[in-house]
Amino acid sequence: MKTNRAYPRAVITEKGARALESGHPWVYEGEIRRFALPSGQAWDNNGSLKPGAWEEADANGGGNTSGTAETEGDSGTTRPKRDDFRERRRRKELLNAPRTEDEIIPLDALPDGSIVDVVNLKGTYLGTGLLSRHSRIRVRLVTRNANDDFSPAFWERKIRWAWEYRKTVMGDDDITACRVIFSEADEFPGLIVDRFNDVLVTQTLSAGMERLKPVIFPALLRVFAEDGVSLRGIYERNDVATRALEGLEQTTGWWSDSGASDFGPSLTDITENGVRYHVDFANGQKTGFFLDQKYNRRAVARLARGRRVLDCCTHTGSFALNAALGGAQFVRAVDVSETAIDMARENARLNGPDVSDRMDFTVANIFDLLPELERTHNPERFDFIILDPPAFTKSRSTIGSAARGYREINYRAMRILPRGGYLATCSCSHFMDHEHFKRMLAEAARDAGVRLRQIEERQQAPDHPIVWGIPETDYLKCLLFQVV
């Protein structure tokens, strides 16, 4: 690590250091022992400012650290041995967690988005990240290279790497609609960038990325322009509740610093797997369209030929349209949202009568529809069911209830399908991991009295890369089965 670095340091606990060394890029609030400026000023995790305070404490020790027991008075009672200074300080920090942001570091010293070096208790460099004063995730790493300088050229170089990766793994046919930047997986923590033909749609979910928009967004436009890609502009979909955890307001609209005045309508057309779609990037879910299932939809299309398909939670009709284009005899697309069904119906018309004439659309809750189909013995003779529900859990504490929801719809689907029928089942929740999801499917099959012949186990498309050591990037499960 270079000496005399200009950046403040976050000194973190052994537990935090082990997490970073395993590949994870986050430092949590409780893992920070102190912040220190190059001037020598330091804040402990209770907010007190004193030059060299920690160094003095470490040098002076913490009282009795010999580990021997002590005898109390004349009673002969033996007291437990005292913890050393660091253990007592750790316990004190847990008991005296700061209640306001100002108790941690003065705003004028380290504002949101500040570049911070992260070091372990011995001062060994672990990486450099961006400070989020309001979040439990206090520092998000953007590099582990002490030689990086964080100039505009640094960020533009990372954008080029991300774009070159997409061109390599997706190919020319699939980069007109793909994820360009996938947050931590591309070392842009909290930033999502999706390309839909002539528009980039972004979500900025961390204070660090919010502060860097004037650097990153122009660099994005330059990289695409130099590659011969003509873009209307960048549309921001920052209508996300989690921005409040970073002290950020919710906003939407065109990024106006690009210099243009008329960006056109908030609609564009894309083609994926040969299927055409209208994308309403101002009003659709997330950034307007779910790109991560691209190749899973193609796998479904291969199985759909000649079959009667029920696509549950169709959203804008993507799985249903792939099945129809793949030669399905009939496809019913179902969603609880009437707006989504209207968009799916419009997308079917966009693909011509050969597709739309073999499709039907229903507004219904699958928790009502599937039991009714089971009760009536599948009158429409569906022999291929697709389950792609929204995330049933967004936290570890609700995995149990989510598993019950997933089990219910999969159990019903297995009961409806005839022997030899096909099932495509998905989960987009990171917390419902592969092991939990497979265990749930096994239990549903046992209770439904069927066996599952696995065809494929799939994950998200490679424009949403899974980085080992960052489990949050490994979130999408898609399994294809024959029910036997």
Cα-flanking dihedrals φ and ψ of residue 62, to 5°?
A: -130, 45
Q: Which residues contact 482 (CB under 8 A, 6 or more apart)?
A: 420, 421, 422, 423, 452, 453, 455
Buried-state track 428-442, b at ≥16 Cβ within 10 A, e below 16: bbbbbbeebbeebbe
282-289 LR contacts (CB < 8 Å, sep 24+)? 282/235, 282/237, 282/252, 284/316, 284/343, 285/315, 286/203, 286/237, 287/192, 287/194, 287/196, 287/201, 287/202, 287/203, 287/237, 288/194, 288/196, 288/201, 288/237, 289/177, 289/194, 289/196, 289/316, 289/318
DSSP H or E run through 344: helix 338-350
- 394-400: long-range contacts (C-beta < 8 A, 24 or more apart)? 394/429, 394/431, 395/431, 396/431, 398/431, 399/431, 399/432, 399/436
Q: Is 129 helix (H, G, I), strand (E, B) or coil?
A: strand
Distances (CA, A) of 161 to 157, 158, 185, 203, 217: 6, 5, 12, 20, 15
* Active-site residue list: 428
Taking each continuous run of H as one helix and of E as one strand, the counts in the chain are 12, 23
- Per DSSP bridges, beta strands 199-204 and 233-238 are parallel
For residue 49, the 8-state DSSP code is B
